[in-house]
Structure formats: C-alpha cells, structure tokens
C-alpha cells in the first residue's frame, strides 16, 4: 500500500493506492506441502489405479481423509506426493470415514474433479463395502430403509429423519454369531452402513461407536473397524469401463479366516 506492505488490520483512507499481486505471483508464494520420503512411499503404495485423469487409493483404517481436531496426518496433506509428473496437485472428490479402509478416488485435473464430485454428491457412483459383523440379520438380503438424523457425535434411526437406504447381502455366516456382509449405500448419510447394519442386529466388528466393548468381548478379533470400501464403479463418469477393487487389509483377512468365514469374489 503506497509502496509499502500493508497489515491485515490496516484501514484504507481516500486516495490511498493498494496493489494486489497477480495470481501467478500469489501461487509462487504458496509453498508446496512437505511430504517426507517415508510418507511419500506409503501413500504411493496405496495407489491401486491410475490414469491421466484419476488416481484411486486403497486407504488404510486409521488414516483420515482430511485434517481436523487432533489430526496431524491425513490424505489431503500427502497429495503433493501423488502428482506423478503433473503440475496439478490431485484433488479429493469424496470422503470415507477415518476408521473405514478402502477405495478413495482423486481427480488429477479440474474437469474430472467437478464431474466426480457432482456424481458422488448425487449418488450416481455405485460403491460396494464389505463388513465383518457380530450378529446376523434375520433376512439374508434386502434393503434397509431407515431414516437417520444426527444426535451428538452419532447418527440415530428416527422416523422423521433424512432418507437413508442401503442394499445388503449376507455372503457367509457362522450360525447367528458372525457374518460377512456386502453392502451398497444408495444414499450418502454419515455412518450410514454402520448405523443400518447395527439397526438389523449386525454390529460391525470393532465399531465401538455403535456398539459397546462388551459386544465384542467374546470375539478374539482385531480392534480395527471391519468396514472396507471394496469395489467402485466409475464407468458412467469416466466414459470407459472402470471398475476398481481394493484388497482387504491383512487383519480383516485373518479375522475372516479365524472365524471360518469364506469370501468368494463374484
């Protein structure tokens, strides 16, 4: 201002001149997020699909997608390591819970960022999740139509809540004690699959938010949330057939095997 730097608190007076740097100068000032070699290797190892327009990651349980209270490490802070020779930093197009593992889609340019974000928001992209549950639904397949609303830090089923629909299929069971479920959300409410399966009496293993530790005491399973975003269909948005799958985490496979459950890909 008037040839000198201006403070954010400075008040302008009549006749004073204020210069705003061109956008390219502002970009030059912005520093690239620093990603350590260890973290760069880690996030690159998550890549399960890549082309000129998108990158798909297999995110581990426990790693948040974006920063928040107490989050020092998250996918958003690692995206500079995924440029793969492009100038643009990849962009997030949707989110999955911190404790949910599996597929996360990034856009490598503005065009696909807008298209994918819109498609996810309008629920036009089919996603399939796998859940290892304590307890089993009475019906082996169907749709869960249970409206949801937020109550504190949890979501609850209420008759006048927001519309929420999940289709599901029980893939295998151990009596009525444990089961492996395939679920696809047809709407996009927070914690939707977790709440809906609990509503049917099938608590997702490790989900102490919607079940108590006592619910999982007799099951000698990993403490991780056993909900995995397994398969995603991107063909409609991408203009070519793209169906991406993400392998199950080691602890998930170990616990399925220890219970005598079988997962057969279809």
CA distance 205 to 197: 11
Mark 64-91 as b/e (b = at least 16 C-beta within 10 Å).
Answer: bbeeeeeeeeebbbbbebbeeeeeeebb
Alpha-helical segments (H) within the chain? 23-29, 37-44, 110-121, 192-199, 235-238, 250-259
Full DSSP string of 27-78: HHHSPPPP--HHHHHHHHTTEEEE-SSEEEEEEPTT-BSS--TT---BGGGG
Q: What's the DSSP call for residue 216?
A: G
Kindly name the residue from 80, 97, 99, 257 that is annotated as catalytic: 97
Is 97 designated active site?
yes
Tokens of 184: 């696809």
Beta bridge partners of 162: 148
Tokens of 139: 């019906």
Judge contact between 133 and 157, C-beta under 8 A.
Answer: no
CA distance 206 to 255: 11
Alpha-helical segments (H) within 98-140? 110-121
First to last CA, the chain: 66
Catalytic residue ranges? 97
């Amino acid at each position: 201002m008037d040839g000198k730097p201006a403070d954010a608190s400075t008040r302008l007076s009549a006749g004073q001149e204020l210069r705003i740097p061109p956008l390219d100068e502002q970009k030059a000032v912005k520093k690239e997020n620093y990603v350590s070699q260890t973290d760069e290797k880690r996030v690159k190892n998550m890549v399960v699909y890549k082309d000129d327009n998108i990158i798909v990651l297999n995110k581990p349980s426990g790693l948040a997608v974006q920063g928040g209270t107490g989050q020092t490490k998250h996918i958003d802070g690692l995206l500079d390591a995924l440029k793969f020779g492009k100038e643009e930093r990849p962009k997030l197009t949707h989110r999955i819970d911190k404790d949910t593992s599996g597929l996360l889609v990034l856009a490598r340019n503005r065009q696909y960022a807008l298209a994918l974000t819109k498609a996810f928001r309008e629920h036009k992209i089919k996603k399939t999740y796998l859940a290892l549950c304590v307890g089993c639904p009475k019906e082996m397949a169907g749709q869960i139509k249970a409206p949801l609303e937020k109550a504190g830090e949890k979501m609850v089923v209420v008759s006048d809540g927001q519309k929420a629909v999940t289709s599901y299929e029980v893939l295998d069971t151990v009596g009525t004690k444990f089961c492996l479920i395939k679920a696809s959300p047809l709407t996009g409410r927070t914690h939707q699959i977790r709440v809906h399966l609990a509503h049917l009496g099938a608590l997702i293993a490790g989900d102490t938010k919607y079940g108590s530790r006592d619910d999982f005491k007799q099951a000698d399973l990993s403490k991780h949330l056993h909900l995995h975003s397994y398969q995603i269909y991107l063909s409609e948005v991408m203009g070519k057939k793209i169906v991406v799958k993400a392998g199950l985490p080691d602890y998930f496979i170990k616990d399925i095997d220890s219970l005598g459950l079988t997962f057969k890909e279809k």
